[in-house]
Chains A and B, each alone.
Chain A
Amino acid sequence: MNTLIIIALLGVAAMMADALRFKKILLPLIVAGLLAALGFAVAAWNSNLSYYHEMVLFNNYSLAFSSLLIVVTLLWMIISKKYFSSSSNMAEHAALVLFVLTGAVIMTAFSDLSMFFVGLEILSISLYVLAASNKSELRSNEAGMKYFLMGSFATGFLLFGIALIYGTTATFNLAKIASSISISETAGNTPMFVYTGVILIMVGLLFKVSAAPFHFWAPDVYEGAPTIITAFMATVVKTAAFAAFYRLFSTCFHDLTGFWSHAMAVIAAITMLAGNILAVYQKSLKRMMAYSSIAHAGYMLMAIVAMNKISANAVFMYAAAYSVASMGMFALMQSMTDAGDESVDSLKGLSKNNKGVIVFLSALVLSMAGIPPMAGFFAKYYIFLGAIQSGYQWLTLVAVLSSLIGVYYYFRVIFVSLQDNTEGSGHTLNKGQWSLIIIASLISLAMGVLPGLLLTLSL
């Protein structure tokens, strides 16, 4: 709870920075605050506390995810310095980012649908603004508009679903909903619209995690939004969405698994394939990463589909592995944005200008592609393990095939980086980007070599 409060207050404080003239120390302040929040989260481990009439429940699951979100945000801060310092609206940006994080933390910890909704909206509304925040850039505007329109449209379905669930159970409390559903299921008098409600909530969430066929917004928004915001969206927001998704479905609708899991399995399969196949053709690295993030959503959905006792860990492990590696990739992408050319081909000369970067970059790419000994592999392994355990061999097979496609385009990044640039000096990185790539790849490797640290949290 302290974590949540600190982050929220940090957001409010950031908002005031401009007015109260402490802009200069804002970033250090945020870092310190986030570290404190992280500290509180870690300190609360195993405490399993519920607050405010069971509005939030900080159990290990939410603490782990909150910590992950904070850590990823801290990583993100490494490359975001320039974004903040170059913008005249630094305070507002920082505040919005922190509000997004607030929403995200709520989404990991809610135990009431109203909290879930509020968290989701705090996150979404701030993000709509952030996506459109590059005002002079038409593509940013377009991204903001698209995200906003489709996001609120999807929210409508989500709310309709929530309403239907409420209609049966007369409560928003997750535990009560679960028990009510369980009772009516055994009694056999579940109204049909409960199922509809589940499906509609699922649709709303599938939109948020950009699963096919609700993924269309993602590539456009990811591409249009400022790169730094895309990085945040692809990692922190995605992680939060999955945390909420799993939390909701594992606590509330666990008894209905047999009902929704098949549809979701098909969606997971389509998502993986669509994301990976579409990524193949992309010339722009940013857009490619957008599609790849869609594909990754497909893998994470597999864990929710499997819905067994390792699924929580699987989602967590995957989110961690994916977020860290993606963050590294986004550092590279940020450098491309700085250079004004986001096409993969512009990476030529990278390895020549930045000695040794190729090693770390390869590590990141291997992690994204899910190849040992990187974290991505263990995450995938865990997902597969869960899926097979629940009897989804076919889905695993699809996952395997689509990750092969993944290799196909991820490795292009390495190929191109290795080539010499015939004209001009080629691509270079700045210090922050460099260090983030190194840090991200090292974390990926560490998680890969010692997967036990994360795999055995038993969330």
Chain B
Amino acid sequence: MNPSLPFFVLATLSVFSALMVVLSRKPVHSVLYLIFCFFTIGGHYLLLNAQFLFAVHIIVYAGAIMVLFLFTLMFINMNKELEPHKTNLLKVAATVAAGCLLLVMVGVTKGAEKLAAHSTRSDVGTVANLGKALYGQYLLPFELISILLLAAMVGAVLLGKKSVE
């Protein structure tokens, strides 16, 4: 087996599911395609030896975030095709713009070959390693993330709470 084959398969799936997220008419389909897409991305993490990240990714994204999305979707009862779509002109414009961006982004992100040869370390993505980094070098941002989550929490409460008028 060509060792690079998994990459291409996963990549194709990723791109396909991402496109479907955008193109699906029904919001729920979009959500499901997105979940699928996240799984493919998780696959890339595995390919890249980032096992811890893979786990976190699945838990956080597929497990929490997407559930939240689905929940909201259900909550506002949007399972049907009630989304008003943009006019065709706008769609064409959006596609053209995004296409241009795509070309440009791909065009301007070249040059990785100029980097020095890649590292042979394979233990980067382990829990132990990342744990050391998180509680060592990155302690301060890690702690501050808690402030961030706190802020988000307070914010969500503030917005969600029924106002006492």
Q: Are A92 and B157 in contact (CB under 8 A)?
A: yes
Q: A55-B140, A95-B154, A133-B158 are in contact. List 13 more A-B contacts (CB 8 A).
A: A15-B154, A53-B138, A55-B138, A56-B140, A88-B164, A92-B154, A99-B154, A118-B141, A125-B151, A128-B155, A189-B114, A191-B115, A193-B112
- Give 24 CB contacts A-B under 8 Å: A12-B147, A15-B154, A53-B137, A53-B140, A89-B158, A92-B155, A95-B154, A96-B151, A99-B150, A99-B151, A102-B147, A118-B141, A118-B145, A122-B147, A125-B151, A129-B154, A132-B159, A136-B165, A189-B114, A193-B110, A193-B111, A195-B108, A196-B105, A196-B108
Q: Are B140 and A89 in contact (CB under 8 A)?
A: no
Output the nearest chain B residue to A197 by Cβ-Cβ distance: B109
Q: Are A122 and B151 in contact (CB under 8 A)?
A: yes
Known: A11-B147, A56-B140, A88-B163. Contact between A192 and B111, CB under 8 A? Answer: yes
Chain B residues whose CB sits within 8 angstroms of the CB of A191 once the complex forms: 110-115
Q: Chain B interface residue count: which class?
A: 20 to 34
Q: Are A129 and B155 in contact (CB under 8 A)?
A: yes
Q: Are B140 and A121 in contact (CB under 8 A)?
A: no
| B161: Cβ under 8 A from any A Cβ | yes
Chain B residues whose CB sits within 8 angstroms of the CB of A129 once the complex forms: 151, 154-156, 158-159
| A281: Cβ under 8 A from any B Cβ | no
Count of residues in A whose CB is under 8 Å from the partner chain:
47
| A251: Cβ under 8 A from any B Cβ | no
Q: How far is the CA of A193 from the CA of B105 in the complex (A)?
A: 9
B-side interface mostly: helix
Chain B nearest CB from A186 CB (Å) reads: 14
Q: How far is the CA of A232 from the CA of B124 in the complex (A)?
A: 42
| A356: Cβ under 8 A from any B Cβ | no
Chain B residues whose CB sits within 8 angstroms of the CB of A112 once the complex forms: 141
Q: Binary interface profile of A, 7-22, with partner B (CB < 8 Å = 1, else 0)? A: 0100110010000000
Known: A125-B148, A164-B109, A192-B111. Contact between A96 and B155, CB under 8 A? Answer: yes
Q: Are B139 and A52 in contact (CB under 8 A)?
A: yes
Known: A15-B150, A114-B138. Contact between A125 and B158, CB under 8 A? Answer: no
Chain A residues whose CB sits within 8 angstroms of the CB of B67 once the complex forms: none
| A282: Cβ under 8 A from any B Cβ | no
Q: Are B112 and A126 in contact (CB under 8 A)?
A: no
| B68: Cβ under 8 A from any A Cβ | no
Chain A nearest CB from B149 CB (Å) reads: 9
Q: How far is the CA of A115 from the CA of B145 in the complex (A)?
A: 10
What's the count of A-B pairs with C-beta under 8 Å? 111
Chain A nearest CB from B88 CB (Å) reads: 23
Chain A residues whose CB sits within 8 angstroms of the CB of B159 once the complex forms: 129, 132-133, 135
Q: Are A99 and B147 in contact (CB under 8 A)?
A: yes
Chain A nearest CB from B150 CB (Å) reads: 7
Q: Are B158 and A92 in contact (CB under 8 A)?
A: yes
Output the nearest chain B residue to A187 by Cβ-Cβ distance: B114
In the complex, chain A residues 76-92 whose Cβ is within 8 Å of any chain B Cβ? 88-89, 92
Chain B nearest CB from A153 CB (Å) reads: 12
Q: Are A8 and B147 in contact (CB under 8 A)?
A: yes
Chain A nearest CB from B27 CB (Å) reads: 16
Q: Which of A15, A51, A56, A196 contacts B109 (CB 8 A)?
A: A196
In the complex, chain B residues 121-139 whose Cβ is within 8 Å of any chain A Cβ? 136-139
Q: Binary interface profile of A, 193-226, with partner B (CB < 8 Å = 1, else 0)? A: 1111001000000000000000000000000000
Q: How far is the CA of A395 from the CA of B80 in the complex (A)?
A: 54
Q: How far is the CA of A58 from the CA of B33 in the complex (A)?
A: 46
Chain A residues whose CB sits within 8 angstroms of the CB of B161 once the complex forms: 89
Chain B residues whose CB sits within 8 angstroms of the CB of A52 once the complex forms: 139-140
Chain A residues whose CB sits within 8 angstroms of the CB of B139 once the complex forms: 52-53, 55
Q: How far is the CA of A52 from the CA of B137 in the complex (A)?
A: 7
Chain B residues whose CB sits within 8 angstroms of the CB of A194 once the complex forms: 111
Q: Are A190 and B114 in contact (CB under 8 A)?
A: yes
Output the nearest chain A residue to B158 by Cβ-Cβ distance: A92
| A119: Cβ under 8 A from any B Cβ | yes
Most chain-A CB neighbours within 10 Å: which of B138, B141, B151? B151
5 closest A-B pairs by beta carbon, nearest first, are A191-B111, A129-B155, A192-B111, A52-B140, A196-B108
Chain B residues whose CB sits within 8 angstroms of the CB of A136 once the complex forms: 163, 165
Q: How far is the CA of A444 from the CA of B164 in the complex (A)?
A: 41
| B9: Cβ under 8 A from any A Cβ | no
Output the nearest chain B residue to A9 by Cβ-Cβ distance: B147
| B5: Cβ under 8 A from any A Cβ | no
Chain A residues whose CB sits within 8 angstroms of the CB of B147 once the complex forms: 8, 11-12, 99, 102, 122
Q: How far is the CA of A118 from the CA of B109 in the complex (A)?
A: 25
Q: Binary interface profile of A, 40-60, with partner B (CB < 8 Å = 1, else 0)? A: 000000000001110110000
| A391: Cβ under 8 A from any B Cβ | no
Chain B residues whose CB sits within 8 angstroms of the CB of A102 once the complex forms: 144, 147
Q: Are A106 and B144 in contact (CB under 8 A)?
A: yes
Q: Binary interface profile of A, 284-301, with partner B (CB < 8 Å = 1, else 0)? A: 000000000000000000
Chain A residues whose CB sits within 8 angstroms of the CB of B154 once the complex forms: 15, 92, 95-96, 99, 129
Known: A96-B154, A121-B148. Contact between A51 and B140, CB under 8 A? Answer: yes
Q: Are A135 and B163 in contact (CB under 8 A)?
A: yes
Q: Are B151 and A192 in contact (CB under 8 A)?
A: no
Chain B residues whose CB sits within 8 angstroms of the CB of A8 once the complex forms: 144, 147
| A39: Cβ under 8 A from any B Cβ | no
| B78: Cβ under 8 A from any A Cβ | no
Output the nearest chain A residue to B163 by Cβ-Cβ distance: A135
Q: Are B148 and A115 in contact (CB under 8 A)?
A: no
| A167: Cβ under 8 A from any B Cβ | yes
Q: How far is the CA of A102 from the CA of B156 in the complex (A)?
A: 19
Known: A125-B155, A126-B151. Contact between A168 and B145, CB under 8 A? Answer: no
